[in-house]
Copies of this chain bind each other. A is one copy, B any other.
Amino acid sequence: MRNPTLHDVARAAGVSYSTADRVLNERGGVAEKSVLRVRHAIEKLGYRRDIHAANLSRRRSYAFRFYLPHGDHSFFSILRQTVEQQARQRLADRIAIAIHEVPALDAEALADQLLLIGRQDCDCVAFVGADSARLTQAVSRLAGMGIPAISLISDAAGDARAQYVGIDNRVAGRTAGRLIRLAHSRRSGRILPILGKLGVRDHRDRLDGAREVLAETPALQVLAPLEILDRPERMRDSLTAALHADPGVTGIYSIGAGNRALIDILGRLAAPRPFAVLHELTPQTRPALESGLIDAIIDQKPAEEIRSAIDAMKAIADRQTPPATDITPTIYLKDNLPGPAGNGGPA
């Protein structure tokens, strides 16, 4: 019942170990008929190379790099912690993960960093996507050097990247929209979207998604989105102004960051607060949900994402077909929040 070894394969194929090895590792210099016999024996015995023994023998270890945005967004720091934690766990699997911080939302700076990577530096790269032609160039260059790159959180670099691991933002927007619709049951209402920047594709996608769903109910009117440009004081001022100007707002969809200020304002509002949906479970948003200041959080489960990303990177590095990563936006209500420790990994 032992798994067959390459020795078994060689014996079954009637060739020497050397020849079996030459076939398995495509070293060349083997007659066609021997190749076939070995291939056939592999098939017949169901031989699978012991990847750990192989890695041990060739002293292989996996060097991966994560390029993560640096900034005081809580989401980014959660992301970073998650990667650090997983990095610790994967050490036992010979996976060494290095984290490189780059300025947040700066595709050019990211491209610069990626352009500095040398052939020997790592086996695979993961980066948080952003839109930029130079970024695409940089990723293509990496691909040319044999270093695959995967985009995280936000897709980018078109076909140059080996894979995207993250949610579909239109789906996330639709989900938020569905929740808001649901919460209005048959009442009419006015929904206020708030986003960082209309120029950011992810934000537009979420907005579009929400609009799609909300448009199905004529009684719900989607107001012009507030653009807060990642500045808390802008959130404070615009939102306060908007709520004053239109006291009939029944729903708020906060698409981007700046939730701290938003929650502050919600806390000061009188009794029938608008139904509020936010993105990302953070130390700020969680208590707001628990105390009922907001009603739902759409989360992308960074722990899952990172885990999938590393799995994909390993598969790619091993030249296997990477697993299908199907990251779906999750809905947190007051009741189904994960345990406090929980970003999914070991305590």
A residues sitting closer than 8 Å to B (CB atoms) are 2, 48, 50-53, 55-56, 59, 91-94, 171-172, 174-175, 177-179, 182-187, 209, 213, 295, 321-324, 326, 328-331, 333-339, 341-342, 344-347
The docked-state distance in angstroms from the alpha carbon of A308 to that of B55 is 25
Contact of A326 among B59, B92, B186, B342 (CB under 8 A): B342
Closest approach, in angstroms, between the C-beta of A132 and any C-beta of chain B?
Answer: 28
The docked-state distance in angstroms from the alpha carbon of A346 to that of B324 is 5
Is A324's CB under 8 angstroms from B336's CB? no
Closest residue to A210 on the B side, CB-wise? B335
Residues of B within 8 A of A209 (CB): 335
Residues of B within 8 A of A326 (CB): 338-339, 341-342, 344
Residues of B within 8 A of A338 (CB): 326, 328
Is A53's CB under 8 angstroms from B51's CB? no
Closest approach, in angstroms, between the C-beta of A168 and any C-beta of chain B?
Answer: 9
Contact of A323 among B185, B329, B336, B347 (CB under 8 A): B347
Is B336's CB under 8 angstroms from A175's CB? yes
On whether A51 and B92 interact (CB within 8 A), knowing A333-B179, A335-B213, the answer reads: yes
Is A178's CB under 8 angstroms from B339's CB? no
Residues of B within 8 A of A339 (CB): 324, 326
Is B328's CB under 8 angstroms from A331's CB? no
On whether A333 and B295 interact (CB within 8 A), knowing A92-B48, A184-B185, A346-B324, the answer reads: no
Closest residue to A55 on the B side, CB-wise? B52
Is B335's CB under 8 angstroms from A347's CB? no
Contact of A50 among B56, B178, B323 (CB under 8 A): B56
Name 28 interchain pairs, CB-CB below 8 A, sorted by A: A2-B59, A52-B53, A52-B55, A53-B56, A175-B335, A178-B333, A178-B335, A179-B333, A182-B182, A182-B183, A182-B295, A182-B333, A183-B183, A184-B185, A185-B185, A209-B335, A322-B346, A323-B345, A323-B347, A324-B339, A324-B341, A324-B342, A324-B346, A324-B347, A326-B342, A328-B342, A330-B330, A331-B336
The docked-state distance in angstroms from the alpha carbon of A59 to that of B52 is 12
Contact of A328 among B92, B184, B337 (CB under 8 A): B337
Closest approach, in angstroms, between the C-beta of A79 and any C-beta of chain B?
Answer: 18
Closest residue to A182 on the B side, CB-wise? B183
The docked-state distance in angstroms from the alpha carbon of A324 to that of B340 is 11
Residues of B within 8 A of A171 (CB): 335-336
Residues of B within 8 A of A187 (CB): 185-186
Is A334's CB under 8 angstroms from B183's CB? no
Contact of A346 among B177, B323, B347 (CB under 8 A): B323
Closest residue to A334 on the B side, CB-wise? B178
18 more A-B contacts (CB under 8 A) besides A185-B187, A323-B346?
A: A48-B91, A53-B56, A56-B56, A171-B335, A171-B336, A178-B334, A178-B335, A179-B333, A182-B333, A321-B346, A322-B346, A324-B342, A324-B346, A324-B347, A326-B338, A328-B337, A328-B338, A330-B331
